[in-house]
Structure 1
Amino acid sequence: MKTFKAYRLEQINDEIIGSVQTLTETDLPEGEVLVKVHYSGINYKDAMANMTKSPIVKQYPFTPGIDLAGEVVESIDDRFTEGDKVIVTSYELGVSHDGGFSEYQRVKAEWVVPLPDGLTLKQAMILGTAGLTAALSVDQLEQHQMDQALPVLVTGATGGVGSISTAILKNLGYRVAAMTGKSEMHDWLMSLGAESIVDRETFMNEKPRVLDREQYAGAVEVAGGEVLSRVLTKVTYNGTVSLSGLTAGVKVPATVYPFILRGIHLAGIDSVYCPIATRKAMWHRLATDYKLTDDQFNQIGHDVIILEELSDKLPRILSGGAKGRYVVALV
């Protein structure tokens, strides 16, 4: 490797400017494993990193991208050898450590997960952090037996976590009620496996109650805020709500009634620092019993882009103008 391309953020006159630059190996951060990156994926956190006055990035120049999948080129850690196919998601990648929007990246060995049999590198990045979060969310729901007579509610269903959760739940035999405010996405969600669509505006305009009719066996919840408070009141006895996001806010105007009268479980989902053993177990499930069909992979990871397109695509994530997952091809 002499030179390679990366999407770099620079601070110029109080503005953050992103561009594709040519780098050398000396530009890479410290780490035990050097990876030739084949694919990355775009996440909400990456779009936030691209903002002026970003809450994510503290030092520039910087390479964003909290996900990558590729092939080991060099390793000073005995767990990995040249040619190994690997996945790296979250931890400090793309936050305080240069990330996956680069043809090569050096990472810490303790962040690296071997690519499980049954997944390609591209499929791994169609999933990425969103897929890991979805797997953790569904796993929490399954730890408490769900009433299959009722549907499972998935909020933010057109996003990465929501769309992948919809597909996983459908494949496991659950009925899925997918919530969205985008009427143009209804057919797409149904093609992924949603049985019904819940209009977000209608859902939020209903009169709030401390306990509502038991409508859902459980929920994959990515919004937080008032959305979460309303979801909790509609889940059936002993149901679970897996919470992984805060797009509707961090304050939850809720009561204790769903918890003490219905035994509702609220499971917090952390895909950033979850233990490596849990991480490997979830990637194994994503390659086996949680695996998406080829058609679902194509539907969710329908848009494959190159580094030069990131400047255009990243702002669309913040504006809510995306569906599923953008995959960045680096080979």
Structure 2
Amino acid sequence: MFKSLVINKNDSQGYHTSLKELNDEDLQDGDVLIKVLYSTINYKDALAISGKAPVVRRFPMIPGIDLVGIVEQCDNDKFSIGEHVLLNGYGVGEKYLGGLSQRARIDSKFLIPLPKGITPFNAMAIGTAGYTAMLCVMALEKQGITPDSGKILVTGATGGVGSFAIRILAELGYSITASTGSAEQVSYLKELGADEVIDRAELSEPGKPLMKERWAAAIDSVGSTTLANVCASINYGGCVAACGLAQGMEFPSTVAPFILRGVSLLGIDSVMRPQQDRLDAWARLEQTKLADKISKISTTVGLEAAIEVADQLLAGGVTGRVVVDVNA
């Protein structure tokens, strides 16, 4: 027997998440059996656990879009018994049983080896948020954005993606503007590497189709009106990597930034990303000095506490990343 968070939806209890004991027969089909060490709470996990958005596609569901663990059984030669493996996305925690469990059975095509230079705990402190942030940075680099191009804006700066984006960009020598609604977190953002911090209110209300050029590029995890204003404020020939929807899914913009200033809007999907992109992003993450800031960016909770943390995250009460020690 082992413990898992389980989401159920039925006539008697409605939508309900609780800590339950399961056995291996309760797990889905897959060719790799994993002893899970750590998982995380991401924005999507919080939506799934709380039921505040239709993230879950089947019931019962074990949430958790991230996991790191040790291979206990593998039905092919892709992984060895005792090897550490890593998972981000692929619909796990939505369509497939996820990582907020002490054990998981996963399709091997969803897994990559844990990089040698990253510990299991740090892999989850980085998690989908840090991996997504690195995908965004790599997308800006492919568009020719360098530290000499000008200031880079990071919205949703105290969230997981924002926190890691700032740290990665700072390490690479970029000048960073952080946008946040948490005035009390200015020192946190500057410690990560932000050069200046602005109030998110500057970007969250409807603006003009074209606004003053302020940034060479941006990483946006907020969406909605904020993303529209960001695009309207990018320098000629700049670009925006869009990877989230914390403010909303709508995009109330015009074509003006794109056809009059040559701005590029880059969509960043981390869920179904091809294997090689994942390996490249994690190889870059392995090269960084993120481990030096992990304690600043992350906190740790046990499985049952993850339910309460999900509500706190949706209410904007969580800074950085939440690692879940599934065996605590």
- 5 Å matches for 1:196-211? 196-204=196-204, 208-211=207-210
Preserved contact between residue 225 and residue 251 of structure 2 (Cα < 8 Å):
yes
- 5 Å matches for 1:48-59? 48-52=47-51, 54-59=53-58
Preserved contact between residue 153 and residue 220 of structure 1 (Cα < 8 Å):
yes
- 5 Å matches for 1:145-294? 145-146=144-145, 148=148, 150-204=150-204, 208-288=207-287, 291-294=288-291
Give the secondary-structure state (helix, strand or coil) at the position aligned to 1:55: coil
Moved more, 239-248 or 142-151: 142-151
Preserved contact between residue 168 and residue 290 of structure 2 (Cα < 8 Å):
no
Partner of 1:78: 77
Give the secondary-structure state (helix, strand or coil) at the position aligned to 1:69: strand
Which one-letter code corresponds to 1:58 in the other structure? R
Once the 2 structures are TM-superposed, how far is the Cα of residue 53 of structure 1 from its aligned partner?
6.5
Which one-letter code corresponds to 2:4 in the other structure? A
Which one-letter code corresponds to 1:174 in the other structure? Y
Preserved contact between residue 34 and residue 72 of structure 2 (Cα < 8 Å):
yes
Which one-letter code corresponds to 1:273 in the other structure? M
After TM superposition, the runs of 4+ consecutive aligned structure 1 residues lying more than 4 A away are none
Which one-letter code corresponds to 1:330 in the other structure? V
Partner of 2:322: 326
Once the 2 structures are TM-superposed, how far is the Cα of residue 293 of structure 1 from its aligned partner?
3.2
| Alignment partners' CA distance in 1, 2:116 and 2:223 | 35
Once the 2 structures are TM-superposed, how far is the Cα of residue 50 of structure 1 from its aligned partner?
1.4
TM-score (normalised: structure 1): 0.94
Give the secondary-structure state (helix, strand or coil) at the position aligned to 2:249: coil
| Alignment partners' CA distance in 2, 1:304 and 1:120 | 15
- 1:305 alignment partner, one of 285, 301, 306: 301
| Alignment partners' CA distance in 1, 2:264 and 2:274 | 21
Aligned residues: CA RMSD: 1.6
Which one-letter code corresponds to 1:327 in the other structure? V
| Alignment partners' CA distance in 2, 1:276 and 1:167 | 24
Partner of 2:292: 295
| Alignment partners' CA distance in 1, 2:250 and 2:239 | 20
- 2:311 alignment partner, one of 290, 297, 315: 315
| Alignment partners' CA distance in 1, 2:217 and 2:53 | 34
Preserved contact between residue 178 and residue 197 of structure 1 (Cα < 8 Å):
yes
Which one-letter code corresponds to 1:306 in the other structure? G
Which one-letter code corresponds to 1:310 in the other structure? A
| Alignment partners' CA distance in 2, 1:181 and 1:112 | 36
Which one-letter code corresponds to 1:318 in the other structure? L
Once the 2 structures are TM-superposed, how far is the Cα of residue 145 of structure 1 from its aligned partner?
2.4
Deviations 1:24-76 (A, max 9, x none): 11111110111111110101111111124750123322211110001111001
Deviations 1:218-250 (A, max 9, x none): 000111111111111211122110001122223
Deviations 1:198-227 (A, max 9, x none): 11113345x833322221110001111111
Count of paired positions: 325
Q: Which runs of 5+ in 1 are unaligned?
A: none
Preserved contact between residue 146 and residue 218 of structure 1 (Cα < 8 Å):
yes
Provide the identity percentage. Answer: 39
Moved more, 165-174 or 77-86: 77-86
| Alignment partners' CA distance in 2, 1:308 and 1:121 | 20
| Alignment partners' CA distance in 1, 2:36 and 2:317 | 27
Which one-letter code corresponds to 2:307 in the other structure? S
Q: Does 1:110 align with 2:109?
A: yes
TM-score (normalised: structure 2): 0.94
Partner of 1:6: 4
Preserved contact between residue 58 and residue 94 of structure 2 (Cα < 8 Å):
no
| Alignment partners' CA distance in 1, 2:271 and 2:174 | 27
Deviations 1:52-108 (A, max 9, x none): 475012332221111000111100121111011110110121111111011110000
